[in-house]
Chain A
Amino acid sequence: MPVTIKLSELPIGASAVVREFPKSGSAFQRLREMGLTAGTSLKLIRTAPFGDPLEIKFRGYNLTLRKSEAEHVLVEPTDQPKASPPA
């Protein structure tokens, strides 16, 4: 049973794999269509100066999302320093 945490709780610079994702909600549908699907490796690059929004990198590009959305995305932290995107 993998240990999952909320994406919003991932420390800056850490990598993780997306495990669970809300089914509905237009934000999550868009995130999914932009490639943030279950199984995708991502890295939390930074947060904006006030801690929100977050900047993540996955599938070779950078995306921002607010903490309020990141709270609903469950990820499994990975130890590898740099996870390559899933093929």
Chain B
Amino acid sequence: MSLPPHISAKPAFSTSRLPTYALVGNPNCGKSTLFNALTGLKQKVGNYPGVTVEKKIGTTFSQHGQPITIIDLPGAYSLAARSPDEAVTRDVLLGRRGDTPQPDRILCIVDATNLERNLYLVHQILDLGRPVIVVLNMMDLVAEAGLEIRASRLEQALGVPVIPCEAVAGRGLVELRVAMSRHDLPLSRHAWDVPGPIAPAVADLQASLTLNDGKSPLSARAEALLLLTDLDSLRVAGSTPLSPRTNEILRTWQTRWEGQGTDWSAALVNSRYDAIGRIAADVVVHVGETGPTVSDKIDAVVTHPIWGWLVLGVVMTLLLVSIFTLAEGPMNWIDDRAALLAELVKSAMSAGDLRNLLTDGAVAGVGGVVKFLPQILILFFFIGLLESTGYMARAAFIMDRLMSRVGLNGKSFIPLLSSYACAIPGIMATRTIEDPKDRLVTILVAPLMSCSARLPVYLLMIAALMPGESVSLGAKVGLMLLMYALGTFGAFGFAWLFKRTLLKGTPPLMIMELPPYRLPKVRDVLLQMFERAWIFLRRAGTVILGISIILWFLSAYPKASGHVTPADQLAQSFAGRAGHLLEPVIKPLGFDWQIGIGLISSFAAREVFVSTMGVVFNAESDKENTAPLRTAMLAAKWPDGRALFTPLVCLTLMIFYVFAMQCMSTIAVVKRETNGWKWPIFQTLYMTGTAWILSFIVFQAGRALGF
């Protein structure tokens, strides 16, 4: 066995600096748990510029206490990337990303109970010619799976350190740190046979990549192998297009093979798996048949044609109910604190515009959004729990058929469902959807699911629509359900439409691993929850603060002269004038300028409509009792004496709220998740346009029918 030519030279790094490690592995192999165990809270979470892929960098310490940097790369099955996540992993490892230095060494984590498939990625990574440490995780589950793993045999076969480990329990970490602290990590001696007909092409491409594309000899061979594994060379090249010469060589070889009937990609993959198979035969001992595992038993129920739906229904109901009940206390607490803070500012400062800016603008506006944070946190927690236990994949599995009707796959289900509580966590959870177009469609339609901020508006409108105490609860609930159904059908309808027109793509795949069920590690779930919440606050925070202040300014200026009621002040403010300006546009929907003010103020959060109406109609009311507001609204008239809030207008307004995009936090999150303003603007226009058109139809048809 001779060394492949590309790894003949030892990579040099100065001894003064400890090497940077990249942590890579398949999804579901315990990578996050290991990363958290190694780095604790010493992590920096961000985004790779230009793509919406999470960038995590942490610090761990060598056995002598020196800091070692670890880059946690997104989970990947192969370096022949299929998703934005995998593309980042490939590009960082190949040193293609300007924003991340190429890691010196690679920590490969594999699931010991699922060695063959996990070794495929390791096998590709060994080609990179960097020092590699293989972490054999989940050793605690090996016996249960009826296996025995001979780690030393694996070490011999690969020629790199192999560290058995149980990341969940923290076992093996000491040994791992010792290995990571070594200055002289060996390079892999593993040699595998590139299939005969393909080997000369690898050499040709490697030479050309070094000469014409400026690749380092170290990564040129790995790049050449990737070009031949993935049939789409454009995708492999990613942001760094191939030089004409390399492209020519690649085409020449491919044409020749096509003529000969050589399936080069399959030949490469097969020969890797052949090599892996030989290693696995030596390393993995099947101790005995174990019969159905715990996971198999759970799955027999969870994916059962009848019980499966029941379980899904119970889990989802539990999720939504607990969000609404658990979040209520903290939400009220935040409300009270915000009010208290406003009072504090009031007592500390003399009356004036600055004080109003702080109390009515900043505190009230930001408080109104932070109020939803408990809900968002709980949702993040549940989503994390569903992900880490493995149930998420099962829900996607049984929902796939239904989702495929509108051109999506099962993975869009949980994000859409979460959006019933709040679209923000739903949209942030779409990162599990690999296909960029499917992900975008899911993001675009998620805010159509009726979120909890719409609930106060629906309740107020239903109360105004059916004011009598004699109206049956059934009618009210029925109307409420109708609104939820409208939003849901709207979401699926638009998903169907977008998948057929704007974001036409290949039909989504459902190639998804069903990982064994695992007990969640609460620390990991909590950590992820706080990370996501922090990202939301940091990214949306400035937008929210900005818009809150603008909204305050619009309602506070210009100042009315003399002593006027808040209603009069609002009426002649910019917001009032905007309401008047808006009136011609919304009059065909039966809305006047006062409702227009409500629509504008809803951009802070939809439920602000209720308090704005309170100011507009001079009605003192709180969330427990909207009766005074209801009475005031029902007394409101057009200048010509017609009643403003007729039942038809109330219904039209509810329909408008079902479809219109009126949430600055969502807009801010969509901007972050789609990397620009294009899609949030499109989303705002299509949703609000639909809201207008449907409201128009309902109102005009209702009027024509004599309502």
Which residues from chain A sit less than 8 Å from chain B, CB to CB?
A: 21, 23-24, 26-27, 29-35, 37-38, 45-46, 48-53, 55, 59-66, 68-69, 82, 84-87
A65 nearest CB neighbor, chain B only: B511
- Tell whether B308 is near chain A: CB-to-CB under 8 Å: yes
> Which chain A residues border B115 with CB–CB below 8 Å?
60
Residues in chain B near residue A59, CB distance under 8 A: 114, 116-117
Residues of A within 8 A of B512 (CB): 63-64
Contact B401 A64 (CB under 8 A): no
Convert B409-424 into 0s and 1s, putting 1 for each residue whose CB lies closer than 8 angstroms to a CB of A. 0100000000000000
A53 to B411, CA, bound (A): 13
Does B397 lie within 8 Å of A55, measured CB to CB?
A: yes
B82 part of interface (Cβ distance < 8 Å): yes
Q: Does B231 contact A (CB under 8 A)?
A: yes
Q: Mark B80-109, 1 if CB is under 8 A from A, else 0.
A: 101000000000000000000000000000
B113 part of interface (Cβ distance < 8 Å):
yes
18 extra A-B contacts, CB within 8 A, seeds A29-B231, A55-B303, A64-B513: A23-B266, A29-B230, A32-B270, A33-B80, A35-B120, A48-B400, A48-B401, A49-B309, A52-B404, A53-B397, A55-B397, A60-B117, A61-B117, A61-B515, A64-B512, A65-B511, A66-B404, A82-B289
- Residues of chain A contacted by B506 (CB below 8 angstroms): 26
Judge if B514 is at the interface, Cβ distance under 8 Å: yes
B12-45 interface bits toward A, Cβ cutoff 8 Å, 1 = contact, 0 = none: 0000000000000000000000000000000000
Residues 268 to 304 of chain B near chain A (Cβ within 8 Å): 269-270, 273, 277-278, 280-281, 286, 289, 299, 303-304
Q: 6 A-B contacts, Cβ less than 8 Å apart?
A: A26-B82, A30-B77, A34-B117, A37-B273, A60-B116, A60-B145
Does B232 reach chain A (CB closer than 8 Å)?
yes
Asked if residues A32 and B397 are in contact (CB atoms below 8 Å), the reply is no
Contact B80 A29 (CB under 8 A): yes
Cβ of B475 within 8 Å of any chain A Cβ, yes or no, is no
> A64: which B residues are within 8 A, CB to CB?
393, 397, 400, 510-514
Indicate if the CB atoms of A53 and B269 lie closer than 8 Å.
Answer: no
Q: A56: nearest residue on chain B (CB-CB)?
A: B514
Of the candidates B113, B270, B514, which one forms a contact with A38 in the assembled complex, judged by CB atoms under 8 Å apart?
B270
Chain A residues with CB under 8 A of B303: 46, 48-49, 55
CB distance from B441 to the nearest CB of A (A): 18
In the complex, chain B residues whose CB is within 8 Å of the CB of A50: 401-402
- B-chain residues with CB within 8 Å of residue A32 when the two chains form the complex: 265-266, 269-270
Known: A59-B116, A60-B115, A85-B116. A29 touches B265 (CB 8 A): yes
In the bound complex, residues from chain A placing their C-beta under 8 Å from that of B281 are 87
A37 to B265, CA, bound (A): 12
Known: A27-B509, A33-B77, A34-B77. A53 touches B400 (CB 8 A): yes
B398 at the binding interface (Cβ < 8 Å):
yes
B336 within 8 A of A: no
Type the 1/0 row for B346-388, where 1 means its CB is closer than 8 Å to any CB of A: 0000000000000000000000000000000000000000000
Which A residues are in CB contact (< 8 Å) with B513?
Answer: 34, 61-64
A46 to B82, CA, bound (A): 26
Is the Cβ of A33 less than 8 Å from the Cβ of B509?
no
Per-position binary interface string of chain B over residues 557-592, scored 1 when its CB falls under 8 Å from any chain A CB and 0 otherwise: 000000000000000000000000000000000000
Q: Are B397 and A21 in contact (CB under 8 A)?
A: no
Q: Mark B649-676, 1 if CB is under 8 A from A, else 0.
A: 0000000000000000000000000000
The answer to the question of B507 belonging to the interface, with a C-beta cut-off of 8 Å to chain A, is yes
- Does B244 reach chain A (CB closer than 8 Å)? no
Q: How many Å from the CB of B268 to the closest CB on chain A? A: 10
Asked if A60 meets B114 with Cβ closer than 8 Å, knowing A34-B77, A49-B401, the reply is yes
B305 adjacent to chain A (CB < 8 Å): yes
Q: How far is the CA of A32 from the CA of B269 in the complex (A)?
A: 7
Are A68 and B507 within 8 A (Cβ)?
yes
Chain B residues whose C-beta falls within 8 Å of the C-beta of A27 in the assembled complex: 509, 511
- Per the 8 Å Cβ criterion, residues 400-445 of B in contact with A are 400-402, 404, 410
Contact across chains for A37 and B269 when beta carbons are under 8 A apart: yes
Q: How many Å lie between the Cα of A55 and that of B77 in the bound state?
A: 18
B263 located at the interface, meaning its Cβ lies under 8 Å from any Cβ of chain A in the complex: yes
Could you tell me if A23 and B82 are in contact, using CB atoms closer than 8 angstroms? no
| Chain B neighbourhood of A60, CB < 8 A | 113-117, 145
Q: Does the CB pair A33–B232 fall under 8 Å?
A: no
Q: Are B116 and A24 in contact (CB under 8 A)?
A: no
B188 CB contacts on chain A under 8 angstroms: none
Taken together as a complex, chains A and B put the C-alpha atoms of A87 and B270 apart, in Å, by 13
Q: Which residues of B contact A84 (CB under 8 A)?
A: 286
Q: In the complex, what distance in Å separates the CA atom of A40 from the CA atom of B90?
A: 27
